[in-house]
Structure 1
């Protein structure tokens, strides 16, 4: 039976949510930990009905320790058999859960991040991410090549007419987070013509200490 890495990620985010507690910051603008947990529960159970007002309502019931613990237990439980998330969990949840775990960790006081990803786990994430990256970076104004040092690379966006490509390099977690719009909390670097780099980071910002090269 194939390894289901989304189950590993679900256990990880449940632990991370528990450790953070209610009211903890996240990288998602306007969301605290209970909002993130509410988002995951609604996505698991009623993905067809997730208006902001409902998310706020669920999150509001989880600001105290008991309500929060109940919500996290639902995150750990995952989707029911009637949900698409149950039957397509690996395709729907692997990257989603990983990114949201990082949203919690990297927004914390010590800025922790994933550093020890099982090689098989990493390959599973990259297999999905290389496809997602083309959708995520489609709005980029220049070409984008994503590179993991001594690892895989993908042309996420071909250059538009009159532009070149920018090579974005970082560890697997950082490259994934960059493409998902969390670049300010990564350690990626940029390599390309200065004008192309400026155009890219204007649309997809990177870390404050971003490195550029012609």
Structure 2
């Protein structure tokens, strides 16, 4: 297993010591290509990208740059080195309001309602067309909010300023936050707050 990350949001400590780690940015095409060739990589798990919905609304250009231009760079390099297997981390946000109060299937109508979701949909379509051209095999996961960590805390979400609620609950419980902010009071729930679906990180892994 080889892990490539520019550590802009990631944390080196979360990488298992059994994996080879290289600090590398996807925009450095020559370095990315060289690493893949030198290590004879035959499949890629593509998780890189920006993921904060609210930030994508405030700064859509950042998300189009990272999640579309950056992803295109990765796919281009894969085609150049002959890697034909890719797994892509997408999102249930592609369904937008169509996944409220009803089960979601792959046939549910797509309705991205923010730049983050839009860029993920673009990523899926990019992979589809590259696979069509280069005979790739690919898997795409559209999962809900990922939460949790190893019981011994050896792995899990570690960011300096988390936006997700579970890390903020933990920080508040530990006294690192003065208070816990819950946004939204007009949802169709008993107290008006939002209900989210989560998937445990080890179940996803």
Tell me the TM-score normalised to structure 2 length: 0.26
Question: Hey, which of these two has a bigger chunk of strand by percent?
Answer: 2
Tell me the TM-score normalised to structure 1 length: 0.25
Question: Hey, which of these two has a bigger chunk of helix by percent?
Answer: 1
Query: Which structure's relative contact order is higher, taking Cα pairs within 8 Å and 6+ residues apart?
Result: 2
